[in-house]
Amino acid sequence: MAVDLTLLANEPRLLLEARLRPIQGTRFQPTGFPNLGHAVYESPNGTGQTVLVESAQSMANRLETVCWDEVQDDWVEPLRGLPVIQVLDKDEKHLTNSLIEAHRLNSPYILEGKDKSVLDMLKERLANLEQGRVDLRELAKVLLEFDTNALLHGVFLAKKELAGGRLRLPRSLSAFVEAEGAKRAVSGGVKNDAVDPKGDTARGFGNVPFARDEWMAERITAYFNLDLRQIRAYGLGDRVERLLVLLALFKIRKFLAEGLRFRTACDLDVVDVTVTRPSGFSLSELAAIEAEIPGLVERIGAAGLFGDTRVLTVTYEK
């Protein structure tokens, strides 16, 4: 049975909230930042502290990690057949790909090595965007063929050879995790050296006591925002729009099912999931989403919208 997306047809956004809790105990370890530590701020309603558990940047990566099968070096089964760019080293061993690279299609491993094949194809396909306003529909059409995921993740082709570095799309799917009513759980420990407790700690010897900050919170929430208006603005047709929405829902459901172990001391579980906009929309189960995506991929590919090949390969050498 097809996933019912009727209520999303004229909506600008799909907004979801997933209430989370530590899978064991009450403490969790939020994300940390260089020279800052944990991101802690006063709640706007005056109810205490809020701590950022996972940033938008990290969540974008985590939503894509659940899409890739590291063992098979391919998309997970329901997504196979979607376009992606594979990067091999000079010995033809897998190095990385456009789904998991930090800058996706703009990765230096794809565009900055000796192999200029992908860069040259992009220059050819996007040549008519060199002058005047950037036609985002044309950019979206090219991205659909080269790296479909970029239509959800966003991309910035920051190279002067590509329309002077003006080609960019913001994220269609974004997410973050916050904990409200947060309080520090201060503890500590000792790195023990049973052989030489008074050894030179600068060289890794000796006993080293340390302090540790974890947190507890009244409520931990993962927020998801899917920009439906942006997806429609790509002008790629009903089938592609449906595929992109289902791919976004797949990422969310798969992440909530498998991706909530952020760190050793931050392993979370789902309490419930709520659709906050639009009213009345119900998030389908993962199995229903997985059942529909392969057929859509096949039909879109048969229509030639994924181009001549689903997997472009580039060899990286400095």
Helices 56-65 and 238-258: crossing angle in degrees, nearest 10, is 100
Average pLDDT over the chain, rounded to an integer? 91
pLDDT at residue 14, as a whole number: 98
Residue 186 identity: V
Q: 88 vs 35, which has greater pLDDT?
A: 88
Q: What percent of the chain has pLDDT over 90?
A: 65
The tens digit of pLDDT for each residue in 49-66 reads 999 999 999 999 999 999
pLDDT at residue 187, as a whole number: 83
Question: Which residues are within 8 A (CB) of 122 and not within 5 positions of it... i.e. 6 or more apart?
Answer: 111, 142, 146, 157, 162
User: What phi, psi does 157 have (nearest 5°)?
Assistant: -85, 85
Q: For the ranges 28-32, 82-86, 244-248, which has the lowest average pLDDT?
A: 28-32
